[in-house]
Amino acid sequence: MTTLLAITAGVLFATGTYLLLGRQLSRLVIGIGLLGHGANILIVLSGGGRGRPAFVGNGTAEEMTDPLPQALVLTAIVITFAVTAFLLAMAFRSWLLNEDDDVEDDVEDRRVAAALAEAEDPS
Amino acid sequence: MDALTTLPVLLPLLGAAASIGVGRWRNAQRAIGIVTLTAVTVLSAVALVRVDRGGTTAVAIGDWGAPVGITLVADRLALLVLVASMIMLLAVLVFAIGQPGAETHHVGFHPVYLVLAAGVALALLTGDLFNLFVAFEMMLMSSYVLITLGGRRDQIRSGMTYVIISLIASSLFLVTLGLVYAATGTVNMADLSGAVADLPDGVRSGIAVLLVVVFGIKAAIFPLFFWLPDSYPTAPTPVTAIFAGLLTKVGVYALIRTQTVVFPESTRPGTLLLVVAGLTMVVGVLGAITQYDIKRLLSFHIVSQIGYMVMGLGLFTVAGVAGAVLYIVHQIVVKTTLFMVGGLVELRAGTGEIDRIGGLARLEPVLAVLWMLPALSLAGIPPFSGFVGKLALVDAGFDAGEHAVVAVSLVVSVMTLFSMMKIWSNVFWEVPEVQPSPQAEQSTPFGRGLMVGSTAAVVVVGLAIALWAGPLHDLTLRAAEELLDGSTYRTAVLGP
């Protein structure tokens, strides 16, 4: 089970990174989401292997799973959720303003490109 | 003492909630914001004096003891940076109230601004890594809203870069947290400092470098800085000013905190940090020299100045870290001031392009003085606070025998002076050629008074740093000693 989860986290990271390399905002949003999920699974895994749920019934400490990473991951999930919602709102706003889904070049890139074009074609 | 440590986080959050409640009445929101931030400033100053006399204190939130529960730790470093940050947050809020624009038009400005304050306070005071992540998210989430407030096209464009870079850094932070917990079974920084020492070398350096990268993105160190000069300038002046003053510095603070408290002396990545520091200074200032827009130019200087703080940390001596802390305090004040004056110039001249403005010294002598003092301070001219900070760092660099980075830092400060003079001669000298902007007509005399008044107040704070440089340097030396030793921190959190 642990191995399966580790592989899942790896696949999520790989897919997320691949999506982040694109230029479309909708892909970026999904990519960020996947990276977040990968990180969350990693945190769940960091608590060790399977075991009985903590705070339910009685048992020795060794039988129980570590509850702390689970508490951490709940917080992380909520944060990822909020951030994804904000990112979607921004992507929508960008789509309203530009009517396309692409990430735009930054000011400096455009300035350098313009200077290059001018140098090659002085007219 | 417990209240003094928790209230700087709690008060702004409560203030934000109240501010949403009275969203319809802008004056009530303003009163809440100012009262809250004043209270937090006073509380943190009192806490600083008490901690300096009585030693580091830790508070276990909800009585869940460390290392499992959440701990807030108030030591000299945290409180010193907190006091400086809160004074700036207060001054910039007054500036924002005076400026026509974001603050007046959006219900959300005040609540979000207060959440930002709470996030900064929590990031400074927290004693565990996961809570640091939460604090960063609070801070960043409010910064995302503030930077895109207004939803103009260029804001969305540059805000998108900022948000996505920050999110990638946050994901990396989460991954690091997972790895730290898997390796050591704790995320409490005091507890970690013991556990990390027992780790194999490879794992330990891996974690150290991951943390440098994560905080390096937030602090905008070379080569992770490219997002900053692109995204900061498009926001409204008060927002840019507070981001410039606080956000990157909190990143550097987190870097200092983790590299000193968590990692044992023999394994600190000193050389790596020194090389990165030198490159950050040089690349930042070269970027600044090529720019012709006030805010973009100043944004590159943020990057360049971050190098000095990282240099102080990279020395890993008491004098070096003390210099870095002093430099953080100086930068929080001076960077905020410069952006506020830059905003005033932009408002008066209707543009930020420095070759389209001229002769402001004759038209606006007050602005010229307000610009000159922090600009000279940034370049490190005596007797200003920048000189004091640089002197402390250069001195520490010579003591540690790191002559190369000291030489780089001195050359860079000459180049900083050059680019400050470029602004001065373009904007304040030359023949007057200024068209008043449409915005300038909207600003009432009272609003203008608030803006100039708050800017003058932070200039005075900057001068006060230079005036009390001696006691302040002693305080930072005590803070650095405590940090590098780490035992007082551990005792305060985990008990003897």
pLDDT of residue B432: 66
CB contact under 8 A, A90 and B171: no
- Mind telling me how many Å the CA of B205 is from chain A's nearest CA? 19
Mean model confidence pLDDT for chain A = 85
Which range has the worst mean pLDDT, B246-250, B284-288, B380-384, B427-431?
A: B427-431
Interface test with A, best of B138, B181, B297 (most A CBs within 10 A): B181
pLDDT of residue B243: 92
3-state SS class at B63: helix
> Which of A32, A66, A79 is opposite residue B164, by nearest beta carbon?
A32
**Cα radius of gyration (chain A):** 22
List, for residues B368-393, the tens digit of each pLDDT value: 899 999 999 988 888 888 899 999 99
**Cα radius of gyration (chain B):** 21
Residue range of the domain that includes A55: 2-120
- Nearest chain B residue (CA) to A9: B175
CB contact under 8 A, A82 and B141: yes
Neighbouring C-alpha atoms within 13 Å toward the C-beta of A39: 28
Interface test with B, best of A83, A98, A101 (most B CBs within 10 A): A83
> Which of A20, A76, A103 is opposite residue B174, by nearest beta carbon?
A76
> Which of B134, B137, B178 is opposite residue A43, by nearest beta carbon?
B178
The Cα angle at residue B253 between residues B90 and B328, in degrees rounded to 5? 60
Distance CA B31, CA B361 (A): 35
H or E stretch covering B57? strand B57-60
Distance CA B124, CA B303 (A): 21
- Mind telling me how many Å the CA of A123 is from chain B's nearest CA? 25
Distance CA B327, CA B69 (A): 33
B151 contact A CB<8A:
yes
Domain boundaries, chain B: 2-494
- Nearest chain B residue (CA) to A77: B174
- Mind telling me how many Å the CA of B200 is from chain A's nearest CA? 17
- Nearest chain A residue (CA) to B67: A68
Distance CA A106, CA B240 (A): 18
Mean pLDDT on A54-65: 78
* Highest mean pLDDT pick, A11-15, A117-121, B204-208: A11-15
Copy the structure tokens of residue A87. 């990112």
CB contact under 8 A, A82 and B181: no
> Which of B148, B151, B178 is opposite residue A46, by nearest beta carbon?
B178
Q: Is 60 exceeded by the pLDDT of residue B144? A: yes
> Which of B145, B161, B178 is opposite residue A39, by nearest beta carbon?
B178
**With contacts defined as CB-CB under 8 Å, which chain A residues touch B151?**
93, 97
Model confidence at B439, in pLDDT bands (50, 70, 90)?
low
| B458, B340 contact by CB (below 8 A) | yes
Task: Give the residue, B426 or A9, on which the prediction is more confident.
Answer: A9
**ipTM of the complex in this document:** 0.89
Question: How much of chain A exceeds pLDDT 90, in percent?
Answer: 33
Interface test with B, best of A68, A98, A105 (most B CBs within 10 A): A68
Interface test with A, best of B146, B174, B296 (most A CBs within 10 A): B174
pLDDT of residue B437: 54
Interface test with A, best of B171, B232, B292, B296 (most A CBs within 10 A): B171
CB contact under 8 A, B179 and A42: yes
Q: Is 80 exceeded by the pLDDT of residue B266? A: no
Mean model confidence pLDDT for chain B = 88
Distance CA B490, CA B73 (A): 10
Which range has the worst mean pLDDT, B81-95, B257-271, B401-415?
A: B257-271
- Nearest chain A residue (CA) to B177: A43
Query: Token pair 């990822």 is at which residue?
Result: A80
pLDDT of residue A31: 92
- Mind telling me how many Å the CA of B235 is from chain A's nearest CA? 15
The DSSP bridge pattern shows strands B57-60 and B71-74 to be antiparallel
Interface of A with B (CB under 8 A): 16, 20, 25, 28, 32, 35-36, 38-40, 42-43, 45-47, 66, 68-69, 72, 75-76, 79, 82-83, 86-87, 90-91, 93-94, 97-98, 103-104, 106-108
- Nearest chain B residue (CA) to A35: B171
**With contacts defined as CB-CB under 8 Å, which chain B residues touch A43?**
174, 177-178, 181
B64 contact A CB<8A:
no
CATH of the domain at A46: 1.10.287.3510
**With contacts defined as CB-CB under 8 Å, which chain B residues touch A108?**
229-230
Q: What part of B 244-303 touches A (C-beta under 8 Å)?
A: 296
Mean pLDDT on B142-170: 86
Distance CA B114, CA B16 (A): 5
Q: Number of folded domains in chain A?
A: 1
Task: Give the residue, A81 or A58, on which the prediction is more confident.
Answer: A81
Model confidence at B435, in pLDDT bands (50, 70, 90)?
low
- Nearest chain A residue (CA) to B185: A47
Q: Is 60 exceeded by the pLDDT of residue B438? A: no
CA distances from A49 to A5, B70, B192, B315 (A): 11, 25, 22, 41
Q: Which residues, listed in sequence order, are joined to residue A52 by a DSSP beta bridge?
A: A64
**With contacts defined as CB-CB under 8 Å, which chain B residues touch A72?**
130, 177, 181, 187
Distance CA A106, CA B107 (A): 30
**With contacts defined as CB-CB under 8 Å, which chain A residues touch B163?**
86-87, 90
- Nearest chain A residue (CA) to B145: A86
Query: Token pair 């959006």 is at which residue?
Result: B106
Question: How is B145-210 classified by DSSP, letter by letter?
Answer: HHHHTT--HHHHHHHHHHHHHHHHHHHHHHHHHHHHHHHHS--BHHHHHHHHHTS-HHHHHHHHHH
| B355, B426 contact by CB (below 8 A) | yes
Task: Give the residue, B485 or B46, on which the prediction is more confident.
Answer: B46
CB contact under 8 A, A28 and B177: no
B179 contact A CB<8A:
yes
Q: Is 70 exceeded by the pLDDT of residue B434? A: no
| B314, B270 contact by CB (below 8 A) | yes
CB contact under 8 A, B156 and A25: no
Distance CA B284, CA B269 (A): 22
